[in-house]
Amino acid sequence: SYVLTQPPSVSVAPGQTATITCGGDNIGSKSVHWYQQKPGQAPVLVIYDDRDRPSGIPDRFSGSNSVNTATLTISRVEAGDEADYYCQVWESISDRVFGTGTKVIV
């Protein structure tokens, strides 16, 4: 089964940039989606298809994907960005894979 590896946590000061990685074998050939989950809440889609933002998501959130690593970047980090972040890929219609999750600490 396909494995997506994320760092357990990332610490960032307010106003700085947070970089969250998602590693997988040849992940650059797949479309990567990112979700934000705040404590006690359901996940929210923040990036789809590697780099596209749903309506309502600030442009401080951006994504990229190349070779074996996909990256979610949060610029000008705010206290409200503190959350868990998960990457996800479509391995097959019967195998959707989530990353291990990264806690962003502001």
Partner 1 sequence: QVQLVQSGDDMKKPGASVKVSCKASGFTFSTYGISWVRQGPGQGLEWMGGISAYNGNTYYAQRLQGRVTMTTDTSTGTAYMELRSLTSDDTAVYYCARDAGTFDAWFDPWGQGTQVTVSS
List residues near partner 1 by CB under 8 A: 30-31, 33, 35, 37, 42-45, 48-49, 54, 86, 88-90, 93-101
Please, which residue, 38 or 76, has the CB nearer to partner 1? 38
Q: What is residue 60's DSSP assignment?
A: T
Distance CA 60, CA 66 (A): 20
Q: How far is the CB of 18 from partner 1 (least distance, A)?
A: 19
Please, which residue, 56 or 80, has the CB nearer to partner 1? 56
| Alpha-carbon Rg for the chain in angstroms | 13
User: Any idea which residue has 């195998």 for tokens?
Assistant: 95
Please, which residue, 12 or 84, has the CB nearer to partner 1? 84
Contacts of 73 (CB under 8 A, 6+ apart): 17, 18, 19, 20, 61, 62, 63, 64
